[in-house]
Amino acid sequence: MHQSNSNAPIFSPNVHHFLTASMAKTSNVITSLFPAALFKEEAVKNAAMAKLSFYSSWNLIKPKHNCLLLIANAKNPRNLDMVNEKNLSGISVGEAPFTKNTGLLIKEKAPDKQGQATSIGRFVEDRHVYRQTFIIRSYETGPDKIATMETLMNLLQETALNQVRSSGLAGNGFGATREMSLRKLIWVVTRINVQVERYSYWGDVVEIDTWVDAAGKNAMRRDWIIRDYNTQEIITRATSTWVIMNHETRRLTKIPKQVRQELIPFYLNRIAIAEEKNDIQKIDKLNDENAERIRSGLEPRWSDIDANQHVNNVKYIGWILESVPMDVLEDYNLTSMTLEYRRECRQSDLLESLTSLTANVTEDLNNNSSNRKADLEYTHLLRLQDDNIEIVRARTEWQTKEKHNLPSE
């Protein structure tokens, strides 16, 4: 918001008189919302203007010193009295009923003395489960204003990384523990399955739980569930398998005893996806002969590279969907996605995306996926364009939007 350098009053005399009379009522609110370094006069003036509806819905007030105040439906000043805050991806939201038409006050927490957020998420169930809350933002949705599969995968990854950071185990790597960092080890995902019961809309609030468990001797399983924050309905489930790679040699290695000892206190024997509903079937390989659609010339950008110096695993989803027919993207929701990672990808690599329709899952009684009641199933492959080396195999299941948007029984 532009701040005038003039010392002249910016209100008419009558409005200025009203603001002066309102200062006593708003001072307590301002003290709780703005940093101490913010000029008191400016703070009072901003809050009073909001109370007078000078700021329209979702108007942004930008005071000094990194404090962000976002007011929805500013005509309802009682929203300034919200208490019992809950954290939303580093942002605190007053615990009031949240609907698409309800006013909502959001403010960013000021950094602590170490320059880190005062709160990101929290541990529950004796620190076995890490819980974090997010708002679905406009740029995280597609043309239909619902969250995309890429958005969900990014939120899952963010929650996992924050669990490690909040546990006190974080080293200097991307999700690596201290013992892993000492040995120059990193985590890499080998397989992940995400199943969506219902997608969230722009402005919805979701709550994500994540936990880990052993997966054999040299792998770790990480699971997630996503709930609707208001109703606590589980709307997405996901499970994944991770192994350890040497950051310098890029070779897989066993989990060292010291790393295992760091992880064991956080292991939880619980699964997010029931065994009979989990997609554990082999993903067939596509090639030039059996692929129905091939999209070439897919090139990673600098922004696609993560802190482990390879393409972030979420980026593959967009490339996979490049070869899916447009009418499927428009008329169907992606209800299940299984990714099987075979090789890491670097910025210099050029990729091809292959897709082929494999089955009508609802009518295929011999397919173990029938419990998920999908209408379409596709098989996918991402490979290097120059030598056809496989990067990712994938399977997707789709349901018509009319069916998928019906309330669950």
Residue 120: per-residue pLDDT? 73
Residue 305: per-residue pLDDT? 79
**What confidence tens digit (pLDDT) does each residue in 30-68 have?**
343 334 444 444 444 445 444 443 333 333 334 434 433
DSSP state, 101?
A: T
CB crowding 139-177: b at 16 or more within 10 Å, else e: ebbeeeebbbbbbbbbbbbbbbbbbbebbebbbebbbbb
Q: Which stretches of the chain drop beneath a pLDDT of 50? A: 1-46, 48-119, 362-370, 409
Domain architecture of the chain: domains with CATH:
118-280 (3.10.129.10), 282-360+373-408 (3.10.129.10)
d(CA 6, CA 16): 16
3-state SS assignment for residue 272:
coil
Residue 360: per-residue pLDDT? 56
Q: Verify whether residue 17 is a known catalytic residue.
A: no
Residue for token pair 């990672």: 341
Q: Kindly give, in sequence order, each residue whose CB lies less than 8 Å from that of residue 244, ignoring residues fewer than 6 positions away.
A: 180, 185, 186, 187, 188, 218, 252, 253, 254, 255, 259
Residue 404: per-residue pLDDT? 65
**What confidence tens digit (pLDDT) does each residue in 227-239 have?**
999 999 999 999 9
CA distances from 164 to 133, 158, 193, 209, 211 (A): 16, 10, 21, 13, 10
* Dihedral angle of Cα 331, 336, 339, 345, to the nearest 10 degrees: 40
Query: Among 79, 87, 162, 308, which one carries the catalytic annotation?
Result: 308
Residue 351's Cβ-count burial label (10 Å; 0-12, 13-18, 19+) is buried
Secondary structure element (H or E) that encloses residue 222, with its range: strand 220-228
Residue 160: per-residue pLDDT? 95
Residue 407: per-residue pLDDT? 53
Query: Among 278, 345, 380, 404, which one carries the catalytic annotation?
Result: 345
d(CA 363, CA 361): 6
Q: Verify whether residue 308 is a known catalytic residue.
A: yes
Query: Among 79, 310, 380, 404, which one carries the catalytic annotation?
Result: 310
